[in-house]
Amino acid sequence: MLEGTCMIHRPVETMAMAMDLDNSAQTPTGRIVIQKVAGRSAVTSLFARYPLKFIRPTKAVSSQVDVVWIYTVSFGGGIVTGDLVYYTIAVGEGCTAVLTTQASTKVYKAVGGKCSEQFFEAQVGSNALLAILPDPVTCFSTARYSQRQIFNVASDGNLVLVDWLTSGRHKRGEIWDFELYKSTNNIYLDGNQPLFLDSTKLEQGAGYSVVDRMQAFHVIAMLVVLGPRLEHTRKHIMEKIRERNSELFGGQLQNSTPRVKKAKSPQREISEAVLLASCSTFGPMDIGLVVRIVATSTESVYKFFREHLTSIGPFIGTCPYGGR
Protein backbone atom coordinates (compact mmCIF):
# COMPACT_ATOMS: atom_id res chain seq x y z
CA MET A 1 0.00 0.00 0.00
CA LEU A 2 1.40 3.36 -0.93
CA GLU A 3 -0.33 6.64 -0.22
CA GLY A 4 1.14 9.42 -2.32
CA THR A 5 1.62 13.10 -1.70
CA CYS A 6 -1.59 15.00 -1.16
CA MET A 7 -2.92 18.35 0.00
CA ILE A 8 -5.57 18.67 2.68
CA HIS A 9 -6.86 21.53 4.79
CA ARG A 10 -7.13 20.94 8.51
CA PRO A 11 -5.62 22.37 11.72
CA VAL A 12 -1.87 21.98 12.05
CA GLU A 13 -0.82 18.60 13.40
CA THR A 14 1.11 18.47 16.63
CA MET A 15 2.88 15.47 18.03
CA ALA A 16 0.40 15.22 20.90
CA MET A 17 -2.41 14.99 18.32
CA ALA A 18 -0.47 12.46 16.26
CA MET A 19 0.12 10.07 19.15
CA ASP A 20 -2.45 8.06 21.01
CA LEU A 21 -0.41 7.98 24.19
CA ASP A 22 -0.95 8.42 27.89
CA ASN A 23 0.41 11.55 29.56
CA SER A 24 3.59 9.90 30.81
CA ALA A 25 4.51 8.58 27.36
CA GLN A 26 4.21 12.05 25.86
CA THR A 27 7.36 13.10 27.70
CA PRO A 28 10.04 13.37 25.00
CA THR A 29 12.71 10.71 24.83
CA GLY A 30 15.04 13.36 23.43
CA ARG A 31 15.22 17.06 22.65
CA ILE A 32 17.66 19.16 20.63
CA VAL A 33 17.70 22.96 20.37
CA ILE A 34 20.07 24.77 18.03
CA GLN A 35 20.42 28.56 18.07
CA LYS A 36 22.89 31.21 17.05
CA VAL A 37 25.57 31.85 19.67
CA ALA A 38 28.23 34.44 18.86
CA GLY A 39 27.09 34.33 15.24
CA ARG A 40 27.41 30.55 14.82
CA SER A 41 25.05 27.57 14.98
CA ALA A 42 25.34 25.98 18.41
CA VAL A 43 23.55 23.37 20.53
CA THR A 44 21.89 25.23 23.41
CA SER A 45 19.91 22.25 24.73
CA LEU A 46 20.54 18.53 24.37
CA PHE A 47 18.68 15.82 26.25
CA ALA A 48 18.13 12.10 25.70
CA ARG A 49 16.99 9.15 27.78
CA TYR A 50 16.75 5.40 27.24
CA PRO A 51 16.51 3.97 24.62
CA LEU A 52 17.81 7.02 22.74
CA LYS A 53 21.23 8.62 22.78
CA PHE A 54 22.71 11.63 20.95
CA ILE A 55 26.35 11.96 19.92
CA ARG A 56 27.64 15.43 19.06
CA PRO A 57 31.08 15.16 17.42
CA THR A 58 33.24 18.24 17.79
CA LYS A 59 35.24 17.65 14.60
CA ALA A 60 32.71 16.16 12.19
CA VAL A 61 33.61 18.76 9.53
CA SER A 62 35.81 21.82 9.16
CA SER A 63 35.26 24.49 11.81
CA GLN A 64 34.99 27.02 8.99
CA VAL A 65 31.55 25.63 8.11
CA ASP A 66 28.70 26.89 10.27
CA VAL A 67 26.89 23.61 10.96
CA VAL A 68 26.04 21.29 13.83
CA TRP A 69 26.17 17.51 13.30
CA ILE A 70 24.31 15.16 15.63
CA TYR A 71 24.13 11.36 15.50
CA THR A 72 21.17 9.44 16.91
CA VAL A 73 21.95 6.10 18.53
CA SER A 74 19.75 3.40 20.05
CA PHE A 75 20.99 1.45 23.07
CA GLY A 76 21.41 -2.19 22.11
CA GLY A 77 22.00 -1.23 18.48
CA GLY A 78 18.38 -1.10 17.42
CA ILE A 79 14.70 -0.76 18.24
CA VAL A 80 13.14 -3.60 20.21
CA THR A 81 9.53 -4.69 20.65
CA GLY A 82 7.45 -2.14 22.50
CA ASP A 83 10.01 0.68 22.22
CA LEU A 84 8.45 4.12 21.95
CA VAL A 85 10.89 6.83 20.88
CA TYR A 86 9.69 10.44 20.70
CA TYR A 87 12.20 13.22 20.13
CA THR A 88 12.22 16.78 18.85
CA ILE A 89 14.62 19.25 17.27
CA ALA A 90 14.34 23.02 16.90
CA VAL A 91 16.70 24.71 14.44
CA GLY A 92 16.73 28.44 15.05
CA GLU A 93 16.84 31.31 12.56
CA GLY A 94 19.82 31.13 10.22
CA CYS A 95 21.20 27.93 11.75
CA THR A 96 22.27 24.73 9.96
CA ALA A 97 22.00 21.25 11.42
CA VAL A 98 22.51 17.67 10.26
CA LEU A 99 20.79 14.74 11.96
CA THR A 100 22.23 11.38 10.95
CA THR A 101 23.04 7.87 12.15
CA GLN A 102 26.17 5.73 12.50
CA ALA A 103 24.62 2.67 10.85
CA SER A 104 21.29 1.29 9.72
CA THR A 105 18.39 1.45 12.18
CA LYS A 106 17.63 -2.16 13.06
CA VAL A 107 14.12 -3.11 14.12
CA TYR A 108 14.18 -6.42 15.97
CA LYS A 109 11.62 -9.21 15.84
CA ALA A 110 8.19 -8.46 17.26
CA VAL A 111 7.20 -10.28 20.43
CA GLY A 112 3.53 -10.86 21.06
CA GLY A 113 2.59 -8.88 17.98
CA LYS A 114 3.67 -5.58 19.58
CA CYS A 115 4.68 -2.67 17.34
CA SER A 116 7.77 -0.54 17.84
CA GLU A 117 7.12 3.15 17.29
CA GLN A 118 9.17 6.26 16.65
CA PHE A 119 7.89 9.84 16.54
CA PHE A 120 9.95 12.83 15.49
CA GLU A 121 9.05 16.51 15.33
CA ALA A 122 11.18 19.30 13.85
CA GLN A 123 10.91 23.07 13.86
CA VAL A 124 12.95 24.81 11.13
CA GLY A 125 13.28 28.57 11.51
CA SER A 126 13.67 31.39 9.02
CA ASN A 127 16.60 30.86 6.63
CA ALA A 128 17.59 27.77 8.64
CA LEU A 129 18.57 24.41 7.13
CA LEU A 130 17.89 20.98 8.56
CA ALA A 131 19.28 17.91 6.80
CA ILE A 132 17.94 14.50 7.88
CA LEU A 133 20.47 12.02 6.46
CA PRO A 134 20.01 8.62 8.11
CA ASP A 135 21.18 5.21 7.07
CA PRO A 136 18.28 2.95 6.07
CA VAL A 137 15.84 1.19 8.36
CA THR A 138 16.27 -2.60 8.35
CA CYS A 139 13.39 -4.64 9.76
CA PHE A 140 14.11 -8.17 10.98
CA SER A 141 11.79 -11.10 10.37
CA THR A 142 8.30 -10.61 11.94
CA ALA A 143 9.16 -7.02 13.01
CA ARG A 144 6.38 -4.44 13.31
CA TYR A 145 7.49 -0.81 13.03
CA SER A 146 5.77 2.53 12.61
CA GLN A 147 7.38 5.96 12.42
CA ARG A 148 5.85 9.41 12.11
CA GLN A 149 7.83 12.56 11.31
CA ILE A 150 6.38 16.07 11.41
CA PHE A 151 8.20 19.12 10.08
CA ASN A 152 7.08 22.69 10.77
CA VAL A 153 9.14 24.84 8.42
CA ALA A 154 9.26 28.63 8.10
CA SER A 155 8.26 29.95 4.68
CA ASP A 156 11.94 30.61 3.91
CA GLY A 157 13.23 27.62 5.85
CA ASN A 158 15.07 24.72 4.19
CA LEU A 159 14.85 20.96 4.59
CA VAL A 160 16.59 17.90 3.17
CA LEU A 161 14.87 14.68 4.18
CA VAL A 162 15.99 11.13 3.38
CA ASP A 163 13.69 8.28 4.41
CA TRP A 164 14.49 4.74 3.28
CA LEU A 165 14.11 1.04 3.96
CA THR A 166 15.94 -2.16 3.02
CA SER A 167 14.40 -5.59 2.56
CA GLY A 168 16.09 -7.11 5.62
CA ARG A 169 19.01 -9.38 6.52
CA HIS A 170 19.85 -11.08 3.24
CA LYS A 171 22.54 -13.37 4.66
CA ARG A 172 19.96 -14.87 7.00
CA GLY A 173 17.46 -15.31 4.20
CA GLU A 174 15.19 -12.56 5.53
CA ILE A 175 13.88 -10.69 2.49
CA TRP A 176 10.83 -8.44 3.03
CA ASP A 177 9.97 -10.83 5.88
CA PHE A 178 8.73 -8.28 8.45
CA GLU A 179 5.05 -8.02 9.38
CA LEU A 180 4.54 -4.25 9.16
CA TYR A 181 6.43 -1.13 8.15
CA LYS A 182 4.80 2.29 8.08
CA SER A 183 6.45 5.67 7.60
CA THR A 184 4.58 8.99 7.60
CA ASN A 185 6.18 12.34 6.74
CA ASN A 186 4.15 15.54 7.03
CA ILE A 187 5.53 18.99 6.25
CA TYR A 188 3.80 22.26 7.17
CA LEU A 189 4.75 25.83 6.25
CA ASP A 190 4.70 28.49 8.98
CA GLY A 191 3.09 26.08 11.41
CA ASN A 192 -0.36 25.79 9.87
CA GLN A 193 -0.22 25.34 6.09
CA PRO A 194 -0.14 21.69 4.96
CA LEU A 195 2.49 21.39 2.23
CA PHE A 196 3.50 17.75 1.86
CA LEU A 197 1.65 14.84 3.46
CA ASP A 198 3.00 11.39 2.65
CA SER A 199 2.62 7.86 3.99
CA THR A 200 4.19 4.56 2.96
CA LYS A 201 2.88 1.28 4.30
CA LEU A 202 4.11 -2.25 3.66
CA GLU A 203 2.21 -5.05 5.35
CA GLN A 204 1.98 -8.77 4.82
CA GLY A 205 -1.37 -9.57 3.20
CA ALA A 206 -3.48 -12.66 2.75
CA GLY A 207 -3.27 -12.52 -1.04
CA TYR A 208 0.25 -11.27 -1.70
CA SER A 209 3.29 -11.03 0.54
CA VAL A 210 5.56 -7.99 0.50
CA VAL A 211 8.29 -9.98 -1.25
CA ASP A 212 5.84 -10.88 -4.04
CA ARG A 213 4.99 -7.22 -4.55
CA MET A 214 8.59 -5.96 -4.39
CA GLN A 215 9.90 -8.60 -6.84
CA ALA A 216 13.60 -8.00 -7.55
CA PHE A 217 13.89 -4.77 -5.56
CA HIS A 218 15.54 -4.64 -2.13
CA VAL A 219 15.38 -0.93 -1.29
CA ILE A 220 12.72 1.78 -1.34
CA ALA A 221 13.64 5.38 -0.61
CA MET A 222 12.29 8.91 -0.61
CA LEU A 223 14.20 12.18 -0.81
CA VAL A 224 12.63 15.59 -0.16
CA VAL A 225 14.44 18.85 -0.90
CA LEU A 226 12.65 22.03 0.20
CA GLY A 227 13.42 25.72 0.48
CA PRO A 228 14.91 28.73 -1.33
CA ARG A 229 18.54 27.98 -0.40
CA LEU A 230 18.25 24.60 -2.14
CA GLU A 231 16.89 25.76 -5.51
CA HIS A 232 20.14 24.86 -7.26
CA THR A 233 20.10 21.40 -5.64
CA ARG A 234 16.56 20.75 -6.86
CA LYS A 235 17.41 21.75 -10.42
CA HIS A 236 20.57 19.62 -10.30
CA ILE A 237 18.63 16.57 -9.12
CA MET A 238 15.87 16.96 -11.70
CA GLU A 239 18.33 17.30 -14.54
CA LYS A 240 20.37 14.27 -13.48
CA ILE A 241 17.23 12.12 -13.13
CA ARG A 242 15.99 13.20 -16.57
CA GLU A 243 19.35 12.31 -18.09
CA ARG A 244 19.50 9.01 -16.26
CA ASN A 245 15.98 7.93 -17.20
CA SER A 246 16.54 8.91 -20.81
CA GLU A 247 19.57 6.64 -20.92
CA LEU A 248 17.73 3.78 -19.19
CA PHE A 249 14.42 3.90 -21.01
CA GLY A 250 14.85 6.18 -24.02
CA GLY A 251 12.22 8.66 -25.15
CA GLN A 252 11.37 12.02 -23.62
CA LEU A 253 10.25 12.91 -20.10
CA GLN A 254 7.14 14.78 -19.10
CA ASN A 255 6.72 16.31 -15.65
CA SER A 256 9.97 14.66 -14.53
CA THR A 257 8.48 11.16 -14.87
CA PRO A 258 10.08 8.70 -17.30
CA ARG A 259 8.15 7.07 -20.13
CA VAL A 260 9.15 3.45 -19.66
CA LYS A 261 9.33 1.43 -22.84
CA LYS A 262 7.64 -1.93 -22.63
CA ALA A 263 10.21 -4.66 -22.33
CA LYS A 264 9.88 -8.21 -23.59
CA SER A 265 10.95 -9.35 -20.13
CA PRO A 266 10.08 -7.09 -17.14
CA GLN A 267 12.54 -8.96 -14.91
CA ARG A 268 15.32 -8.33 -17.41
CA GLU A 269 14.53 -4.62 -17.48
CA ILE A 270 14.63 -4.43 -13.67
CA SER A 271 17.93 -6.27 -13.40
CA GLU A 272 19.55 -3.98 -15.95
CA ALA A 273 18.22 -0.76 -14.38
CA VAL A 274 19.38 -1.64 -10.81
CA LEU A 275 17.91 1.65 -9.56
CA LEU A 276 14.77 3.44 -10.74
CA ALA A 277 14.02 7.04 -9.74
CA SER A 278 11.31 9.58 -10.48
CA CYS A 279 10.80 13.10 -9.21
CA SER A 280 8.14 15.79 -9.04
CA THR A 281 7.85 19.28 -7.58
CA PHE A 282 5.33 20.45 -5.02
CA GLY A 283 4.27 23.58 -3.17
CA PRO A 284 3.94 27.22 -4.22
CA MET A 285 6.37 28.17 -6.98
CA ASP A 286 7.68 24.56 -6.93
CA ILE A 287 9.54 25.24 -3.70
CA GLY A 288 9.83 21.51 -2.95
CA LEU A 289 10.98 18.40 -4.77
CA VAL A 290 10.23 14.77 -3.94
CA VAL A 291 12.27 11.89 -5.37
CA ARG A 292 11.08 8.29 -5.12
CA ILE A 293 13.52 5.42 -5.57
CA VAL A 294 13.45 1.64 -5.81
CA ALA A 295 16.67 -0.31 -6.17
CA THR A 296 18.15 -3.78 -6.11
CA SER A 297 21.02 -2.87 -3.77
CA THR A 298 21.71 -0.55 -0.84
CA GLU A 299 25.06 0.46 -2.32
CA SER A 300 23.42 1.86 -5.46
CA VAL A 301 21.17 4.11 -3.33
CA TYR A 302 24.12 5.38 -1.29
CA LYS A 303 25.81 6.23 -4.59
CA PHE A 304 22.66 7.95 -5.87
CA PHE A 305 22.51 10.18 -2.78
CA ARG A 306 26.21 11.05 -3.01
CA GLU A 307 25.91 12.05 -6.67
CA HIS A 308 22.62 13.93 -6.41
CA LEU A 309 23.19 15.72 -3.09
CA THR A 310 26.76 16.84 -3.71
CA SER A 311 25.64 20.48 -4.04
CA ILE A 312 24.60 20.68 -0.36
CA GLY A 313 28.17 19.85 0.65
CA PRO A 314 29.16 23.50 1.18
CA PHE A 315 26.21 23.96 3.59
CA ILE A 316 26.95 20.91 5.76
CA GLY A 317 30.72 20.65 5.40
CA THR A 318 30.97 17.42 3.43
CA CYS A 319 29.30 15.34 0.73
CA PRO A 320 26.34 13.42 2.19
CA TYR A 321 27.07 9.72 2.70
CA GLY A 322 30.66 10.31 1.61
CA GLY A 323 31.98 7.68 4.00
CA ARG A 324 29.52 5.00 2.97
- Strand duo 158-166 + 137-139: pairing: parallel
Query: Distance between CA atoms of 91 and 258, rounded to whole angstroms?
Result: 36
More confident residue, 262 or 9: 262
According to DSSP, residue 77 is labeled G
Among residues of the chain, what percentage have pLDDT more than 90?
74
User: For residue 275, which amino acid is it?
Assistant: L
More confident residue, 251 or 306: 306
pLDDT band at 323 (very low <50, low <70, confident <90, very high): confident
- Strand duo 129-133 + 158-166: pairing: parallel
Among 58-62, 148-152, 161-165, whose mean pLDDT is lowest? 58-62
Kindly tell me if the per-residue pLDDT of 324 is higher than 80: no
Contact of 277 with 216, CB cutoff 8 Å: no
pLDDT mean over 8-18: 44
Contact of 248 with 263, CB cutoff 8 Å: no
pLDDT mean over 109-118: 92
Query: Distance between CA atoms of 82 and 80, rounded to whole angstroms?
Result: 6
Kindly tell me if the per-residue pLDDT of 11 is higher than 70: no
One DSSP character per residue, 118-174 reads: EEEEEEE-TT-EEEEEPPPEEEPTT-EEEEEEEEEE-TT-EEEEEEEEE---GGGT-
pLDDT at residue 13, as a whole number: 56
Chain-wide mean pLDDT for the chain?
87
Rg (CA), the chain: 19
- Strand duo 96-101 + 68-74: pairing: parallel
Query: Distance between CA atoms of 219 and 270, rounded to whole angstroms?
Result: 13
Please, what's the b/e burial string for 195-217 (b: 16 or more CB within 10 A of its CB; e: otherwise)?
bbbbbbebeeeeeeebbeebeeb
pLDDT mean over 18-31: 63
Query: Distance between CA atoms of 26 and 21, rounded to whole angstroms?
Result: 6
87 strand-pairing partners: 30, 120
